[in-house]
Chain A
Amino acid sequence: MKRRSFVKGLITASAGSVISSPWVAQKTFAAAHSDTVKLGCLFSSSGTMANIEGRLNFVARMAAEEINAKGGVLGKTVEVVTTDPGSDWPLYAQLGRQLIQQEEVAATFGCWTSVSRKTVLPVVEQNDALLYYPLHFEGEENSKNVVYLNSPPSSSVLPAVKYLMSEEGGSAKRFFMLGSDYVWPRTINQQLKGYWAEQGIEPDAWREEYVPFGHSNFQTLINEIREFANQPGGQPVVILTVVGNSIPDFFREYVNQGVSAFDVPVLGLDALEADFEGLDTSSLVGHLNCWAYLQNAEGPSNQEFLANWASYVETNDVPFRPDVAIDPMISTYDGVHLWALAAEKAGSFDVPAVRDASAGLTFACPSGYEISMTGENNYVKRGVFIGSLNESQGFDILWQSPDTPEPVPFSPYMNT
């Protein structure tokens, strides 16, 4: 470690500890610089989500730098203001309000878990601001103040579950749903149950379990999964919706208890390349995930993004790996560019103008798809990838959609 960065770190850290742990990192000097336009970030650098959310701050900065290098937006330089909500959901709302009212940001990029988005939602609606949300999520929401950069279940979870139920995917017949206890897992599982009921699958073919946030002791639950899997009735799978640091904890115990992907594959709906950074994945090969981007996506735009990220990490001493890119990073990156395109098109930074200009915008996403914003709401049409975990902590592409399906915000399976 370099001595200067160490000293710098010490000073920053102690400054932080004196003020209070979460803080708005970049204080502004004058109320408004006339030649800059601000974007706000609401991603945690501490708490259970820090490891994965933290890197989104840097991606937003990187995208802003790219835009600035091409002359900025409407002649103004883009400045990114980051915050640390500390994985503490109410704090997202508080810092969001601060960003909008005090920092007067033109748009906010933020939230990972749905619970944090739900707390920020009233804030952006009251202030008629814009929140760009980069995660695939449970749908059932359609606010004019949120741009849903990633897919609702119809174009992420459902294709993956259908794949698992197909003959090629292993003819899954029985499902163990294990999630963190909050709105995203519960809504997703509700929709899945509706879907299975419609397919004529009996309720005794599934089980649903929830654990608290940050849960780390999965011994008992994996015992139960093994027991569930060994009962008659056909191929079992686990639909995993635990989030944050619970994901590596789950997989570590899974391997140690000797369950392999051949016996009971796990579809990790929030599992990303970054979650496996500390794990030896050779005995986890074959577990699945589904996202709108995988690092192994083919195409020159992905290679370009990966190279840019690696050099950004090098030059700015970013405390994350230069060789790992995850879907929410790409979504955030897309979001910053989509916002810039919309502002250019509108000729203004006003939220209503930007929102109106957004309809129909297209952008060449690093995933290789030409993504586009829908005309009738703030959803984005994205491609679908199903990935299979490989030995080197990455995901191989098992299946990808031929085009970008139309997002369906409200699931037809919700109340069946």
Chain B
Amino acid sequence: MLPIRQFFARFFIPLVLVIAASLPANSQDRTAILAEICSGDFAAQQSALGQLASAGVEHGEAGANWARAIVDAFEGRDLRCGDGIAVIDGNAGPIMAETLEPTIGVDPEGLDAPSVNLRLRAVASSANAVLRLYTEAEAAERLSAASYIDRRREAATATNIGAALELETDPDVRAVLTTLRASLLLSDADPTNRIGAIEAIAEDATLRNRTTIAEAIKSETDAAVIASGETALASIDRTLAIGQVLATLYAGASYASVLFLAALGLAIIFGLMGVINLAQGELIMVGAYAAWFTQEAIRYALPGLLDYYLIIAIPVSFLAAALVGLIMEVLVIRRLYDRPLMTLLATWAISILLINTVRVTIGSQNLEFHQPGYVAGGFPIIGDFIMTSNRLFAIAIAVLAFIAVVVLLRKSLFGMNVRAVTQNRSMAGAVGIDTRRTDMMAFALGSGLAGLAGLALSPLYNVNPGMGTGFIVDSFMVVVLGGVGSLIGAIIAALGIGQINVIIEPIYGAVAAKVFVLLMVIVFIQWRPEGLFAPKGRR
């Protein structure tokens, strides 16, 4: 329920205004605006959208409601134009655009939709947001409209935002609109307003706003305005520099999390057990497909939980890949522990088998994943630095997986067995550890972790049968560089490779960054063949 005052402000006062002043002129205006929007002439359409956005200024909520219906129809391509008439052909049946009454004797089939190009669509969506300020009853809706206009100002003017501000009662929305209105006065006649505009714009320190201010003070003559502009630019520059550093760090960390996730399972299988598993990438793929099947199952059985499928799929992906790993170990790898080259060939064959099995049974197209809110979009942090949620998700899973594995290896009986077998297999056997079983479980754990990586990477990468092959070189690189058998080494190596990559990329390009990183790894391995952290075990 709206408070009484707000109720009056939003419904009653505009209603009186409409009845008292604007009905006759309104009808003529409507015809003229519709004629312009139907004209197919780009400039006329643009001006018509501008007038529609300002319809709330004089005609209040009734005018805004009508204008919003037209803009919606234009954006949604429901508007149909004929000789002197315009019809909205929406879901609820055709209505006359001018009166929003049902059509009588007009067949919308024979009418054409006006063309909507990218420019007009941008103006229309901005106009729509302005009109939402006048027509939405919920303050939260108006707030989202106001912050949308802040980014998309094509249809916003100091007048139509000012009029909306006068009607507005919610303090949060008022605050946004006040800044917005001030920032629209950059070319106002009054220098105080111009300074106010500069200050309002500088509140959001982005490169785009910096450009706006810099362009404005180029043609500025008033010394006070120029001084205020220069202060604003200096402050924006500081924020932008911080944002840039953070963005680089974040990009590096997120790339590192991808590398680390892909390499974590391998760090156990290759690092601890010494098995060169070329099917590791395909285990990642298995994990991603398991996540997709979970999503489909939830979509079918419990559609309400669809947004949480990535969480629900964590055990599924882990177990699916672990199971595949277990089968591989029992059928093939167990027989080849003392023949590393044979393992290499056998795991390679398994990887091709897995790829082609998926290709023939499910197909080679990219799978479509539902993107819940927590892996879509991003949050602007500071300056132009946007923290993208899908990468944040991958970082979080990487950190959690790392902690879980360290705890498992350090604190559990199974972990102790694995470490014992790694350090000295025959001695471990002699003190009563079932080395066979330990090998099997460790291999399943490494495979399961690869499956987990597949899940975490599914919001970032294309999921298709060949997705795993891209990871195999990178993950071996991380494990070897980090030091075979060292989890800490793997994490440091991943961070190092990730960070160096994103630092080089903007300077010399992505191709050079890849070459450079590989060269560095080669040189490093020449100098320190055991990697960053040498294993302490006896082999």
Interface of A with B (CB < 8 Å)?
Answer: 1, 5-6, 8-10, 12-14, 16-18, 21, 45-48, 50-51, 54, 167-170, 181, 209-212, 214-217, 219-221, 223-224, 226-227, 230-232, 245, 248-249, 252-253, 255-258, 261-262, 265, 274, 277-280, 286, 288, 319-321, 388, 398
Contacts and interface: CB of A to CB of B under 8 A. Distances in A.
A388 B118 contact: yes
B42 interface: yes
Contact of B511 (A51, A211, A279): A211
A219 B251 contact: yes
B118 A170 contact: yes
Interface stretch (B92-100, B186-194, B459-467): B459-467
10 contacts: A9-B360, A13-B360, A18-B349, A45-B359, A168-B42, A219-B254, A221-B510, A227-B384, A277-B365, A319-B359
Contact of A50 (B258, B364, B502): B364
- Closest 3 pairs between A and B when the two form their complex, measured CB to CB: A9-B360, A13-B356, A319-B363
Contacts of A277: 365-366, 368
A248 B462 contact: yes
Contacts of A320: 363-365
Contacts of A45: 359, 364
A170 B380 CA distance: 27
Given A17-B352, A168-B42, A231-B207, A51 B119 contact: no
Contact of B510 (A169, A211, A226, A262): A211
A50 B363 contact: no
Interface in B172-195: none
A278 B206 contact: no
Given A255-B377, A257-B378, A17 B364 contact: no
Given A48-B466, A51-B366, 12 more contacts: A13-B353, A17-B349, A51-B365, A220-B251, A221-B510, A248-B366, A255-B377, A256-B378, A262-B122, A278-B366, A278-B462, A279-B368
A166 to B, nearest CB: 10
Contact of B356 (A16, A221, A231, A232): A16
B367 interface: yes
B502 A169 contact: no
A210 B509 contact: yes
B461 A216 contact: yes
Given A17-B349, A248-B462, A226 B117 contact: no
Summarize B's interface: helix, strand, loop or mixed.
Answer: helix
A211 B369 CA distance: 26
Contacts of A253: 388
Contact of A219 (B211, B215, B391): B391
Contact of B211 (A8, A216, A231): A231
Contacts of B42: 167-168
B355 A46 contact: yes
Contacts of A17: 349, 352-353, 356
A212 B462 CA distance: 17
A278 B510 contact: no
A278 B364 CA distance: 12
Given A168-B117, A219-B254, A230 B360 contact: no
Nearest to A245: B462
A248 B390 CA distance: 15
B463 A278 contact: yes
B16 interface: no
Nearest to A12: B360
B211 A170 contact: no
Given A51-B365, A321-B365, A8 B506 contact: no
A29 B464 CA distance: 34
Interface size class of B (residues with CB under 8 A): 35 or more
A3 B216 CA distance: 69
Contact of B118 (A9, A224, A257, A261): A261
Contacts of A248: 366, 462
Contact of A14 (B117, B353, B386, B466): B353
B442 to A, nearest CB: 26
B368 to A, nearest CB: 5
Contacts of B363: 319-320
A219 B365 CA distance: 24
Nearest to A215: B510
A6 B119 CA distance: 50
Contacts of A8: 360
A51 to B, nearest CB: 6
B27 to A, nearest CB: 31
Given A219-B251, A223-B251, A278 B368 contact: yes
A55 to B, nearest CB: 9
A217 B464 CA distance: 17
A181 B465 CA distance: 24
Given A10-B357, A51-B464, A210 B367 contact: no
Specify which of A8, A9, A54, A181 lies most central, judged by the most chain B CB atoms within 10 Å of its CB. A9
A385 to B, nearest CB: 15
A356 B462 CA distance: 45
Contact of B207 (A18, A214, A230): A230
Interface string B190-215: 00000000000000001110110011
B423 interface: no
Contacts of B367: 278
Contacts of A279: 368
Interface string B35-46: 000000010000
Contact of A265 (B118, B247, B258, B349): B118
Contacts of A16: 352, 356
Contacts of A278: 365-369, 462-463
A413 to B, nearest CB: 24
B65 interface: no
Contacts of B425: none
Contact of B206 (A230, A249, A288): A230
Nearest to A223: B247
Residue of B206, B365, B390 with highest tally of chain A CB at under 10 A: B365
A256 B460 CA distance: 10
A224 B506 contact: yes
B91 to A, nearest CB: 15
A181 B384 CA distance: 28
A369 B366 CA distance: 31
B362 interface: yes
A386 to B, nearest CB: 10
Interface centre among B349, B364, B376, B463 (most CB of A within 10 A): B364
B206 A280 contact: no
A157 B390 CA distance: 33
B481 to A, nearest CB: 18
A357 B425 CA distance: 75
A1 B352 CA distance: 20
A321 B367 CA distance: 11
B304 interface: no
Contacts of A170: 117-119
Contacts of B125: 262
B255 interface: yes
A232 B361 CA distance: 52
B208 A230 contact: yes
B371 interface: yes
Nearest to B117: A168
B505 A220 contact: yes
Contacts of B376: 255-256, 280
A297 to B, nearest CB: 17
Interface string B277-314: 00000000000000000000000000000000000000
Nearest to A318: B363
Given A13-B352, A211-B510, A261-B118, A249 B362 contact: no
B470 interface: yes
B389 interface: yes
Contacts of B206: 230
B388 A210 contact: no
B461 A249 contact: yes
B117 A46 contact: no
Contact of A210 (B152, B384, B511): B511
